[in-house]
Amino acid sequence: MLLKLKTVSSLEKVFADEELNAPVLEKASVLRGEVFSFQIAYFCDVQANLTVKIDSAFTCAAEVRETALVPCEIPANEPGENPDLLRKTPGLYPDPLMPITGNIKTVPNQWRTVWVTLRIAGNEPAGEKPVSCKLKLSLSGSEEKTEAETTVKLEVLPAALPEQKLVHTQWFHTDCIYSYYKAECWSEEHWRLLDKYIANFSSHGINMLLTPLWTPPLDTRIGGERPTVQLLGIEKDGDIFKFDFSRLGRWIDVALENGVKYFEMAHPFTQWGAEFCPKIIVRENGEDKKMFGWHTSSRSREYISFLRQLFPQLLAFLDKKAVRDKCFYHVSDEPSLQHLENYRPCAELIRELTAGAPVIDALSNIEFYKNGLVEYPIPANNHMEPFVEAGVKPLWTYYCVGQREKVPNRFFNFPSYRNRVMGVLMYKYDIYGFLHWGYNFWYSQYSINQELDPFRSTDAGRGFASGDAFLVYPGKTGPLDSIRNEVIREAVQDLRALRRLEELQGREATIAFIEEGLDHELEMTCYPRSAAWLLDLRERVNRRIAELI
């Protein structure tokens, strides 16, 4: 039996049907409090049982998962300048990280990987420690065995990652969770699942949680509906609305217990123009009814009255929970210039009702900012320059399915360095907040099909390029990570490390340090197309931090 091993970095995507030419990862350094991952790639010539054993002197146990393959029907392969795609063809792509229970059943004559993760403690003793990886191959019903071993030397430096300052949201789709697991909304089973997903969310450096005061009006076809997921209890008696915030209180408590720092309140107007109201369920005369929705204009007197009654009580409740200064609000997602005049009165109303709280929206037309309609615009990373030139502070950005040419993104067929480099670029641009629409969107585009299997449809029912709609997969009892989710955490860690370096030597010197040896300045569309550059930069940053402290 043949068994070949090769340790490679977390930035390699190993395909089953091609030879593995990635460089060997022999050693690396980490800061205290960091999560470090690498891969053990293996190749064997028989179908057999594979066991994996990791030994190290670290205080934490290594987590070992199998990198699985899932179908990708729509790679990010639109015409245009895309110099560094892994593939342009549909097929099986490595992405989910699956728990290993017992043995791995191998597939002959294919390169596969196991993903090894070490969570370095904040008080981990400094020094170099080998991580030994032993793999054993055995045939069922036979005593024949083959073993192989490889080692990665990991050095803990006497410095810690600083606290994360980036405000980071990946939209959390509460309805997708109860839909997939067939758990009644807000049942104890639903809350149990929410606890697990929010814990995963927060552990990856995602610290702002989309909060469904009402069913968020996102990615829903006009006239269509997403399953009702509404935290607010609302009753109407004549012209008076009464509010029950108890579920919202539990939501806040669960989030805070799991490390969430900020809350992002659901949009009060529909996507792409703010023309209508979100679906809001109200109890009147003992009956629950859909009082607001597509049938209600965003300017209707009754809806404006509803909002005017809600917000003073909502803000008072958030004060009581001591999170009012941690809340962000929206008007409408991704309005374009044709919606500017309709957006205006909605924005003015929300700015008034939120009493000076930050109001943010994903939009890429600078006119909304110049007209004073949004104080905190969130432009896509390929539309940032006008906002940078206008001196927008604090500066936010996002990417989604439309950001495919040159800029960073997280699609299946993008190399992982094109995902991770976003951390370095966010430092260069001094980004305050980052937004993405899909932590766990498992429906089809426009939420038409709400029973998709994310392991089979990775493109929202052929709606988006694979990798856009979600970062986690639904496991039997909770979330399963993806390669992309782990790499995004690494990007945020890079940003934190650079901010630590800035504390020690200043921002100007840190930017010069990053761009050392380059023949150009770093920009969203211009950065080294290389995993090796990113890994080397992080090593240099770590060493420089250790030197300065």
Residues 131-165: pLDDT tens digits? 999 999 998 877 788 999 999 999 999 999 999 99
Q: How far apart are CA 457 and CA 541, in angstroms?
A: 39
Computed on alpha carbons and rounded to an integer, the radius of gyration of the chain in Å comes to: 24
Nearest-CA neighbor of 265 among 326, 316, 220? 326
Q: What domains can be seen in the chain, in order of their start residue?
A: 3-160 (2.60.40.10)
For residue 518, give both structure tokens. 């380059």
Which amino acid appears at position 371 of this protein?
Answer: N
Q: How far apart are CA 290 and CA 299, in angstroms?
A: 17
Q: If DSSP codes are grouped into helix, strand and coil, which group holds residue 192?
A: helix
Give the pLDDT confidence score for residue 80 in this predicted structure: 63
Residues 157-207: pLDDT tens digits? 999 999 999 999 999 999 999 999 999 999 999 999 999 999 999 999 999
Q: Helix count (H) and strand count (E) of the chain? A: 11, 24
Q: How far apart are CA 469 and CA 443, in angstroms?
A: 9
Give the pLDDT confidence score for residue 77 in this predicted structure: 64
Give the pLDDT confidence score for residue 81 in this predicted structure: 63
Residues of the chain with confidence (pLDDT) below 50 = none
Map 445-467 to HEC letters. HHHCCCCCCCCCCCCCCCCCCCC
Give the pLDDT confidence score for residue 44 in this predicted structure: 95
Determine contact, residues 75/87, Cβ cutoff 8 Å.
yes
Q: What is the DSSP letter of 526?
A: B
Q: To the nearest 10°, the Cα dihedral for 301, 307, 313, 315?
A: -150
Give the pLDDT confidence score for residue 199 in this predicted structure: 98
How distant, in Å, are the alpha carbons of 354, 394, 436, 537 from that of 325?
Answer: 11, 16, 22, 36
Give the pLDDT confidence score for residue 499 in this predicted structure: 98
Give the pLDDT confidence score for residue 238 in this predicted structure: 96
Give the pLDDT confidence score for residue 542 in this predicted structure: 98
For residue 388, give both structure tokens. 């940078």
Q: How far apart are CA 196 and CA 186, in angstroms?
A: 14
Phi, psi of 386 (to 5 degrees): -60, -30
Give the pLDDT confidence score for residue 65 in this predicted structure: 98
Give the pLDDT confidence score for residue 487 in this predicted structure: 98
Give the pLDDT confidence score for residue 79 in this predicted structure: 59
- 272's CB contacts (< 8 A; 6+ apart) are 332, 333, 334, 335, 336, 339
Q: What crossing angle do the helices spanning 531-548 and 507-514 adopt, rounded to 10°?
A: 140
Give the pLDDT confidence score for residue 444 in this predicted structure: 98
Nearest-CA neighbor of 226 among 145, 295, 280? 280
Q: If DSSP codes are grouped into helix, strand and coil, which group holds residue 404?
A: coil
